[in-house]
A and B are shown apart, each in its own frame.
Chain A
Amino acid sequence: MTPELGYAATVAALVLAVYGSGAAALSAVKGRPDLRRSSERAAVGVWLLVMTCMALLIYAFLTFDFSVRYVAANTNLGTPFYYRITAVWGALEGSIILWAFMLSIYTLIVVARYRRTQPQLYPWVLAVMLGISAFFLLVMTIPAPPFERLSPVPADGRGLNPLLEDSGMITHPVALYLGFTGFTVPFAFAMAALIIGRIGDEWITITRRWTIVAWYFLSLGLLIGGWWSYHVLGWGGYWAWDPVENAAFMPWLTGTAFLHSVMIQERRRMLKLWNLTLIILTFSLTLFGTFLTRSGIIGSVHAFSQGSVGQFFLAFLALVGLGAFSLLAWRVERLGAQGELDSIVSRESAFLLNNLFLVAAAFTVFFGTVFPLLAEAITGTKVSVGAPFFNLVNIPIFLALLFLMGVGPLIAWRRASAENLRRNFLTPVGIGVVAAAACRLLGIGNAVVLLCLGLVAFVAATIGLDFARAARARRRTGDGWLDATWGLALRQNRRYGGFVVHLGILVLAVGVAGSQAWSTQTEVTLNRGEATEVAGYTIRFEGLAGVEESNHAKVVGTFAVSDKHGPYTVLTPAKKFYPQEQTPIAAVDYRLGVLEDLYLVLGEFARDGSHATIKVQVNRMVSWLWMGGFVLTLGAALAILPEPRRKPAVARAGQPATA
């Protein structure tokens, strides 16, 4: 019953989406408000039907309905109930539903917010969004139907991929997809603007918050992915330049570039063509990312693909890329830049350089990811492009971006005078140099790390300096301390939200540099009761125990850890044996700390528990990545606060009114 209902809902949603898209477009062309209202109702219908699909699928999972092939493939009788819910998006078909679901919600929000306020753009925005929803629903109908029947119905399912049985599984895809789908809205507005020929700055002003929110969720998704990789996969790292990691990273890079360059368009009316290009690129890259995961053309840990899904995505990618860029080409003469600068040294140049480096990084990642294909096409041999390449090219780029992060917000628009440069940068540069020197004296020898830390200090100083100056100026006009600092941040929340986000990136940068340079690992075999010493920790092997869980068996090793202060913790890394998996899965145990994490992986062991091999890692500064993510969250939240209501100007006694 469930498969049939679900399939019917999918097809109905597809039909509604196609109809709604056409009706919205037609309503714009012919000026027919009745068609527009009809398409809005269609959007609501799509949302209801997709939600029904999700509900049906969750129900099927919760009730162990193995007549649904997708359920049987991704869960078994032993799967715990919360993983049965997250298993919904644990594989290909479910991930498409998740995407379609988020898209339908965003479409509804667009309907609610803009139907009255943007009468000209809105019908086209709706048409584009419903059109994109239609594509995903099409994928759900033909190549990747989640409600395919399995017959005969098996007694038990295969089970969820054990690597996905983790809290990261609940949040990572959701955050990532909220980011990906979030970029659909600015893209749709850009398309609408191009279609009706009103390519002023409106579409940017309207979508500003959407962009920040989408960017934020994408960042969050990437960070959670790194966290998941770190604490589940057992290699102690958080980023491997895996093709699918890269595929999510590229839209983040161009999305960040877009986020910054729209500020130039807002302030100086420049870069219109470039901003449109960037949003088309960003949206296309989100599609490219999903294409990569689902087509199987590049092998990856993430790849979960089969069948003709890849071809569908490639076709859609072609449609979007060719279509959007053709629209752009069609309207190109209306996008003349009215750029005016008085000097090359100015904030505009800093932003342009920021864009250049971000797009260059995206290009590098793209080129490196598809190069194996290119090499095979041209030379016939297979090559791999991995970390050594990506690090070599990207590290200088990111260092340059760090530098720009300090320069950009403070340098003057149009022309930076020597006075402006001196006033804003002399102290921070000094601080940066002092910090680098201090680090060198403390024994840090790696030039890249030194440069990174010096730059971090420089940027932190610029932010602090700017904030302190502004707060002091407010103090001078009579505001109390609280109002001067806190109120300042709230009043100019866009600016200071951006600063806080930059601070988050700084914390992250310190984490990356530190973990790269200062982490150690070692492997040791211990007999029961024997201890070893690693980096100040004494680790004693206490014994092994076998444990039966609902869907797997595991062997747990107990290791007592003490440091120079005494007993520190007991770590229990394990090896999990799932019946459906060919090799055992390592379950890492770790203790997190602000400066360092102790990380233990169980390797080979004797059946009788007489000895065991462990890999011990002391990963330093990794927690700074997650802390940076937290700061990032605060900054993004600050940046999207609604504009402060204009308080009626209150004249203080003897002072001019300050807004």
Chain B
Amino acid sequence: MSRASSLLRWMIPLAVVPVLALLAYGFRTDPREIPSPLVGKPASLFTLTAFDGTPVALASLRGRVVVVNFWASWCYPACYEEAPSLERAWKAYKDRGLVMVGVNYQDKDEPARRFLSQFGHSFPNAPDQGSRVSVDYGVYGVPETYFIDRKGRVRFKQVGPVSDQLLKEQIERLLAEAA
């Protein structure tokens, strides 16, 4: 057999290698984590009515750092894990220019209110009827949290629960910036 075809035949098993490499690469990615195209862009304005009846409009919050957290009462255990952290961060930074807004995603009134009273959230929370705001923010699951700077741009999106550490880092970073 000629040398060329003798070497050529080993191309057959070698052809398998790039496929295996690609599949191995797959272990490093998470199919559920989709990077948001909104980071760096102006945050979509919204007007919602909170559970207690007060209006919440993003436009009126320009100049302050806004944290928008999407949650649901059926989102167990993640939303339940992060809820205390959110309340803590709110209490710590509200006098320094932070506004925290909770948006209730795909939920029912009663269970949502129960969730709120369970954690005693003192920052405004509003239901998102029809999910217009959620789609406007590209929400595909809960919990998701958006960090908006003083100029009204989305600076960071967290998919999954937020920790005290993460909240502290992001909020302080954004608070330090000028309006």
Contact = CB atoms under 8 A, between A and B. Distances in A.
Interface in B1-56: 1, 9-10, 12-13, 15-17, 19-20, 22-27, 29, 31-32, 34-35
A370 B23 contact: yes
A545 to B, nearest CB: 20
B9 A373 contact: no
Given A318-B20, A321-B16, A333-B1, A373 B29 contact: yes
A183 interface: no
A310 B24 CA distance: 9
B74 interface: yes
Interface string A312-334: 00100110011001101100110
B106 to A, nearest CB: 8
B57 interface: no
Interface extent on B, as a size class? Answer: 20 to 34
Nearest to A318: B20
A296 interface: yes
Contacts of B26: 295, 297-298, 373
Contacts of A583: 74
B84 to A, nearest CB: 20
A322 B13 contact: yes
Contacts of A381: 35
A608 to B, nearest CB: 14
A332 B11 CA distance: 12
A329 B75 contact: no
Contact of B74 (A297, A373, A582): A582
B10 to A, nearest CB: 5
Contacts of A377: 22, 25
Interface residues of A, number: 30
A382 B30 CA distance: 10
Contacts of A317: 20, 23
B120 to A, nearest CB: 23
Given A374-B22, A382-B35, A583-B74, A325 B27 contact: no
Contacts of B10: 326, 329
Contact of B22 (A299, A373, A582): A373
Given A291-B23, A377-B22, A321 B34 contact: no
Interface in B42-92: 74-76
Given A314-B23, A318-B20, A297 B29 contact: yes
Interface of B: 1, 9-10, 12-13, 15-17, 19-20, 22-27, 29, 31-32, 34-35, 74-76
Given A297-B27, A328-B13, A373-B23, 16 more contacts: A297-B29, A299-B32, A310-B27, A314-B20, A314-B24, A317-B20, A317-B23, A318-B16, A321-B19, A325-B16, A329-B9, A370-B22, A373-B25, A382-B34, A582-B74, A583-B74
